[in-house]
Amino acid sequence: MKPALSFAIAASLLLPAATYAQQAPGIKDALSNERIGMLNAGKLKITTGKCTDCASSPQSLWYFQNDVIAAPTSAAMVAGVSPGLDRRADVKAWSQTPGAAQLAYPAVTWIAAPQIIESATIAADGKRITTVDGNTYNFALVPKIATNLSYVNDETTAYLSKRSVRVRGTLETRDGKPTFVARTIWPADYAIDTQHIALQPLAKRKDLRSYVQAPSTVKEGAVTTRLVWERTPGAGRAVAGKPVMGIMLNGAQGDDDESLAGHFGVATGYFGKNGEWADWAMNNIYGLGSFSEKGIVAATVTMDNYLNDLNSGQQMYRPSYMLVAVLKNARTAVAYQGGIQRTMNHFYRQDFVYGQASGNCAGVSIDVLRDLGWHIPEEGPTSRMKALAAYAYVSATDLSLKSGRGIYDSLSEEQTRLLPAVAFEAAGWDLLELVTAAPGNTRKLSAYEQQLKDDVEAVMLVRIGQVPSSRAWGSSPVFSFSEYMERTPADRADWKIVPVAPRPFPQALRDSSVPAPSDPSPVPLPVMGIGLAGVIGVSAFWRRRSKKE
């Protein structure tokens, strides 16, 4: 242990930003020499949602009152929103303006903890952490959220203690001793190795699906990389400092039947010198209308928080897959990041509501790409006829028209907007067709598609294994509604579901120019039409019969 600290750093997340700025040997401010995706994090301030002097919108701050965030300090820094336009029209209009080339900051970046230790080692018993320069502190973990089904166990500690790690957390004083309380633990060997991989192209679209569905040989959080295309020999290896856009697919959980479809998002950032990517910005779309059982809140987050937060990190409860496009020009990634930030502003304002069918993580993310001009081919709905039949069946068995409406919407929704795995497959394969100029592909390219075609230098697939914990092992996500039903118990009463509490948005924060969101009618229009036609038909029958009599 190094000499005792001359000061103690308070633990409370509600302390002012000035307290966070205090440092100790081997521990740095979470924004010091850091990036948030494509942006310099040093221009932001560490605070909480109770900030009174930052430029974030009141609506966005409300969701992070007791969480550590990075916030812009002036209105000129922050991404805006066009109040008179819906989210999709706003992105389309913004993308055509000269200002779109200059990336603004997100209204809120959820950094979760105020400090970082780089290249640290955790003792085998999990009770101490040592910095790269030899400073040792007592070590502890943030508590498990009560509704979380699992948490770190001895297997997790054994896995983490065998490797160098990057840790986000807070230095506290416990029993008179400095103790670093970890919130996020990112293994250094997550670095994407591009120096020892051979080129292995995908021959056909279903190869991309097979990559995701292949029985995983990746255990204990290991990361493997496959180079599938490069513009010139060696382009897939010379990636240091290059901008990237990553299409992320998270798998199915092993203990939650509502999560078998997985999760989807798009990341932006720059490759580190040795393949590091912990600071890429991940744009995480989750429902805002309830409290997540793992503590997830929709936000722009750094990749280490997105994947390895001890409560909410995706790798703590399922495997993940990512298609990474290495770019020679940042403009393609800048456009997406700017578009999704405006979309997130609409989301916080309640301009639109998250929905399991039309407004989920896949739908919102794919919408931004399409609104920028990347016309990812649509897959169409599962079946409109099945949707009608399922509506009738579920409404009757559940005695709930709302339940029937839910299944109807899912079967009627275009599949790239519904299922994360289908979105991943469609976008990934279309990107490869764009950059390889596949024979027979005669479609006229939009300006954004032409940028993709010109700027992408290499495409690689990355598989990230689930971190061992008390959580059941996850698997690949489903690619169809029928696969979803095959993997769930026939009796819905046997489904594993974690109930969550509602999170109503305060009326005082609602923008008067934004209509309050309303639930869709429990009876879909086609059903109304069928019912109306039936009424008209029966009425006509009785009228004819009455005339005859």
Q: What is the pLDDT of residues 58-85, one digit of tens each?
A: 999 999 999 999 999 999 999 989 988 9
Q: How many CA atoms lie within 13 A of 118 on its CB side?
A: 11
Average pLDDT over residues 391-400: 74
E strand intervals along 288-394:
299-302, 320-327
> Which range is least confidently modeled, 1-5, 204-208, 428-432?
1-5
| pLDDT band per the 50, 70, 90 thresholds, residue 522 | low
Residue 535, pLDDT above cutoff 60: no
Give the CA-trace dihedral at 359, 467, 309, 120, to 10 degrees: -150
Lowest mean pLDDT among 242-251, 417-426, 481-490: 481-490
Residue 526 has pLDDT above 90, yes or no: no
The residues, ordered by sequence, that sit 6+ positions from 46 with a Cβ below 8 Å of its Cβ are 17, 20, 21, 29, 30, 31, 68, 69, 70, 111, 114
Residue 114 three-state SS: coil
Residue written as tokens 């986000």? 168
CB 167 within 8 A of CB 305: no
> What phi and psi, each to the nearest 5 degrees, are found at residue 211?
-60, -40
Asked if the model's pLDDT at residue 349 lies above 60, the reply is yes
Neighbours of 206 (CB within 10 A): 12
What is the 3-state secondary structure of 3-28?
Answer: CCCCCCCCCCCCCCHHHHCCCECCEE
Compute the average pLDDT of residues 338-359: 92
Q: What's the pLDDT at 480?
A: 93
User: In the predicted model, is pLDDT for residue 536 greater than 90?
Assistant: no
101-105, 300-304, 436-440: least confident range: 436-440
Closest CA to 67 of 178, 205, 168, 215: 168
Q: Which amino acid is at 397?
A: T
Q: Are 264 and 242 in contact (CB under 8 A)?
A: no
Q: What is the pLDDT of residue 528?
A: 46
Name the pLDDT band for 497 (thresholds 50, 70, 90). confident
How many angstroms separate the CA atoms of 487 and 213, rounded? 14
- The pLDDT assigned to 513 comes to 76
β-strands 281-284, 165-174: how paired?
Answer: unpaired
Residue 517 has what pLDDT? Answer: 64
> What's the pLDDT score for residue 20?
38
Which of 86-90, 182-186, 401-405, 446-450 shows the lowest mean pLDDT across its residues?
401-405
Reference 266, options 34, 424, 430; nearest CA is 424
Q: Note the pLDDT of residue 19.
A: 39
Distance, CA of 29 to CA of 223 (rounded, Å): 28
More confident residue, 10 or 549: 549
Task: For 138, list phi and psi in degrees, rounded to 5.
Answer: -60, 155
Task: Band the pLDDT of 546: cuts 50, 70, 90.
Answer: low
Residue that the structure tokens 């974030």 belong to? 56
Highest mean pLDDT pick, 17-26, 372-381, 503-512: 372-381
Give me 27's structure tokens. 């521990």
- Of 104-108, 219-223, 320-324, 407-411, least confident by mean pLDDT is 219-223
Give the pLDDT mean for 269-295.
96
| Cα distances (angstroms) measured from residue 24 to each of 27, 171, 304 | 5, 8, 22
DSSP 372: H
* Residue 527 CA, distance from chain mean position: 34
Q: Sorting pLDDT into bands at 50, 70 and 90, what band is 21?
A: very low
Q: Band of the pLDDT at 539, cuts 50, 70, 90?
A: very low
Q: Are 92 and 446 in contact (CB under 8 A)?
A: no
Percent of the chain with pLDDT over 70: 88
Res. 5: pLDDT tops 50: no
Average pLDDT taken over every residue of the chain: 88
Residue predicted with more confidence, 22 or 254: 254
Look at 120-129, 161-170, 318-327, 520-529 and tell me which has the smallest mean pLDDT.
520-529
Q: Which residues of 111-129 are buried (b: 16+ CB within 10 A; e: fewer)?
A: bbbbbbbbebbbeeebebb
With a cut of 60, say whether residue 529 has pLDDT above it.
no
